[in-house]
Amino acid sequence: MSLIRRKKILSFLGKTLSVLGLSLVLISCSNSLPDYSRKISSFVPDLEKTDSLNYSNFQWAKEKYPNECRWEKLVRIIDGDTIVTEKSGKIRLIGIDTPEIKSPFTEEEPGGKEATVKIREILADSEKVCLIHDEIGDQTDKYGRSLDYVFSENGLDINAEMLKNGFARWYPRFPYERKKEFQSYQNFAENKKVGLWKK
C-alpha cells in the first residue's frame, strides 16, 4: 500500500472518529439538560387570564338565529332570567341564573335589582322576542316555564349578554348545548370585574 493511500485512509478514519466523538458528547449533554418541551395547549392562554373572547369558537347563535326563532310578543319582564310572552307565558332563560328580587315567594338577593334593570334595558326597544329551544336540554322546567334562548328584535343574544355583562351566573346543572360557551362568558365577566363580580 502506498504512503499516499495510507495517509488518506488514516485521515478518513480520523474524521469519522471525530464525528462519532462529537455525537457522543452531544447525546450525553442532552440527557443532562432540562426538558423544555411543552404541549401546544400550554401556549394557549386560559380564558380566565384574558380580557377578550374568541367569538369564532361560539357559532351556536349564528347557526340558529333567526332561522329557528319562534317570535312572540313580549308582555313583561319578571326578573333577570324570567320574562312573559303572550303565547308561551313565563319563559325562563336557559343556562343562566340571576339573583332573586323580592317577591311573595323569594327574598331579595344582592344584584337582583341590577340584573332586572339590565334585562329591561336590553329589551327596552323590543315589542317581540325570538325564542329558541335547546336541542339536548329540557323544554320546560319543574315549574312549567318554557326554557329558551331569548333574542331581542335586533338580534341581541340576551342569555349571553346577561353573562358577559356580569349580571348572571352560568348554570352548571342539567345538560344544554351552550354550557361551555356560557361558562366562558362568566369567566370573562369575572376577569373584567363587572356586574356581580365588581367586588
CB 195 within 8 A of CB 189: yes
The matching CATH number, chosen from 3.30.300.30, 2.40.50.90, 3.40.50.720, 2.40.128.520, for 59-197 is: 2.40.50.90
> Mapping DSSP to helix (H, G, I), strand (E, B) and coil, where does residue 35 land?
coil
| Enzyme catalytic residues | 92, 100, 145
pTM for this one? Answer: 0.73
pLDDT per position as a tens digit, 1-28: 554 455 455 455 455 545 445 444 444 5
Residue extents of the structural domains in the chain? 59-197
Q: Which residue has the higher pLDDT, 43 or 98?
A: 98
Cβ proximity of 162 and 96 under 8 Å: yes
- Nearest-angstrom CA–CA distance, 112 and 96: 13
Q: What is the pLDDT of residues 63-113, one digit of tens each?
A: 999 999 999 999 999 999 999 999 999 999 999 999 999 888 888 899 999
